[in-house]
Amino acid sequence: MIDDSQIQCAVWKRLLEGRYGDRIAVETYSDPREGVDALDPGVHLLLLDWEMPWMDGKEVLGAARDMGVNLKRVIITSSHPADRLHEEFDDTGCLAVIEKAEPEQQAAFMMILDSIMRR
C-alpha cells in the first residue's frame, strides 16, 4: 500500500492482516518515492492513494507500469467521489477505483480482495 497518511496505512494493514491472517504480507509506504523504490513487477496487489506529496497516484501508477507491474493488480483509493475517480483512472487499465469514505465502495473493495485471496 502506498498512501501518504500513516494512519490510513495502519488502518488498512490492520484490517487486511486481521481478515487474511498469515495468508497475506502487507507492506505500507507513506512516502510514495519509497513505495516506488520497493515495487516489484510480481506484486499481487497495489493499493494506491491518488493525492500524495512528491508523487501523486497517477505518477506512481505510471512508474509501476514502466516497471512491469500488471495494472490489473492496482486499486486506486481517494476521498474524491467515485465518479471523479472514474474520470481520472478509467483509461489507465487499473483494476478498480475506491472512494475511501463510501461504505458501499469499501464493501466492493473487500469483495475484490476476497476474490483475489481465493486464487
pLDDT tens, residue by residue, 69-100: 999 999 999 989 888 998 988 889 999 899 98
Q: Is the pLDDT of residue 35 over 90?
A: yes
Q: Looking at residue 82, what is its pLDDT?
A: 85
pLDDT (0 to 100) of residue 39:
95
Q: Into how many domains does the chain fold? A: 1
Per-residue confidence at 58, pLDDT binned at 50, 70, 90?
very high
Choose among 52, 54, 61: nearest CA to 88.
61
**Sole residue written with cell 513487477:** 41
Residue 75 C-alpha cell reads as: 486499486
How far, in whole angstroms, is CA 20 from its chain's centroid?
17
Please state, as a whole number, how many other Cβ atoms lie within 10 Å of the Cβ of residue 18: 8
Q: Give yes or no for residue 29 having a pLDDT over 90.
A: yes
pLDDT on residue 108: 86
Question: What cell does 67 get?
Answer: 516497471
**pLDDT score recorded for residue 105:** 86
Look at residue 70 and tell me if it is in a domain: yes
What percent of the chain is predicted at pLDDT more than 70? Answer: 99
Q: Which structural domain, as residue segments, surrounds residue 30?
A: 6-44+56-118
Strand order in the sheet with 74-78: 46-49, 74-78, 96-99
Residue 28 has pLDDT above 90, yes or no: yes
Beta-bridged to residue 98, according to DSSP, are 77
Query: Strand, helix or coil at 102?
Result: coil
